[in-house]
A and B are shown apart, each in its own frame.
Chain A
Amino acid sequence: MSYRPTIVAFLCNWCAYTGADLAGTSRLRYAPNIRIIRVMCSGRIEPTFILKAFQQGADGVLICGCHPGDCHYQEGNYKCLRRFKLIQKYVDQMGIEKDRLQLEWISASEGRQFAELVNNMTKTLLILGPSKIKSSLEVEHLKQ
């Protein structure tokens, strides 16, 4: 089977998820290899969720929230940004290339930008190749 990168995305309800919905209502086309999980605010996204997605075999994890200053909950996106910087360092140290984890701001009107983002990230992941983290975890498990 040829490599098809898998993206797990966490989108905030108010801007990014609505923007992704707009891509749909505008009938824009983007790569089908993304699965979206809705959270109320990007500030809700825990490191555990990101690691879980990688552990389960995701080749990339995408986080989208409201643009700076536009957060529905005032400042959740800033907290998300801070956590993102830390977790990106962490995944890098775990052997997950840091481009596999991306954070972008998508407003409720940016359906086009969302579609482009998915396509661009897919291209990046095609170049990076499949994530090795899941198979290496499985080997560790067998040793035990």
Chain B
Amino acid sequence: MINIVWGIVFVLIAPVVGGLIAGIDRKITAHMQGRVGPSILQPFYDVGKLFEKEQTVVNETQTFYAICYIIFMIFTGALFFASGDLLLVIFALTLAQIFLVLGAFAANSPYSYVGAERELLQIMAYEPMVILTAVGLFVATKSFNVNEIAATTTPLILLLPGIFLGFLYVLTIKLRKSPFDISTSHHAHQEIVKGVTTEYSGPSLGLIEITHWYETVFLLGFVYLFFGFNPLIGVAAVIVIYLLEILIDNTNARVKWQFMVKSSWLIAAVVSVVNLAALYFLSGGVP
């Protein structure tokens, strides 16, 4: 059953929540580094400023790709919160990411190209694990429907600890946190300027920022699926996981893409396959 109301709630509320999460993230990061840090509303100021700036484009289609990126990200999240099909959600997410890559390739700039290639490598690195997560959730609940997965009374985290660990690993890639912030980062000037978003400026960069807020909320919703048996524990787990991501971000240096792809595939292959096999034998060989 599609739950339209939750979809609409996501579209309206997610940018506010996502922006606040980004603000709190920056504040906690600053405190971890012994700084005062910006206001919690700073991400909103940043995006407001970007919309006050002049729009300069290298290639007209860039803006089109940025708009497609946000539309498909909203579609992904709305479909997820409206309890659509998990597989469709995952493929819509990939499509949204591809528009970001196309936008970066549209501008003939070396830094933008490097960023786009690294973004593709990131997609390559996390995609197997994300699909295995959907498979794991299906094996445990016999459903790809988000609502049915979230409403199961069995604690999925106990059935799928390996899958969950693997998903956490790629979550760092998806949230663009160190050590996997290789395609675009505020801290990699000397390396790639700003990677995929190098050639974006003003309002279209603002759109990409808002898209990231939507993405963050959607991904945290994904984490919640593992704890759907108890909403209170679920929300607490989401908060703890995000704090953990901030800690990882602040204590790790950026790695090479080779390490990222190898390690995330290795984890996907070992941890989740072992988890799936264990689940298979525990259920008496009936898939």
Do chains A and B interact in one complex?
no
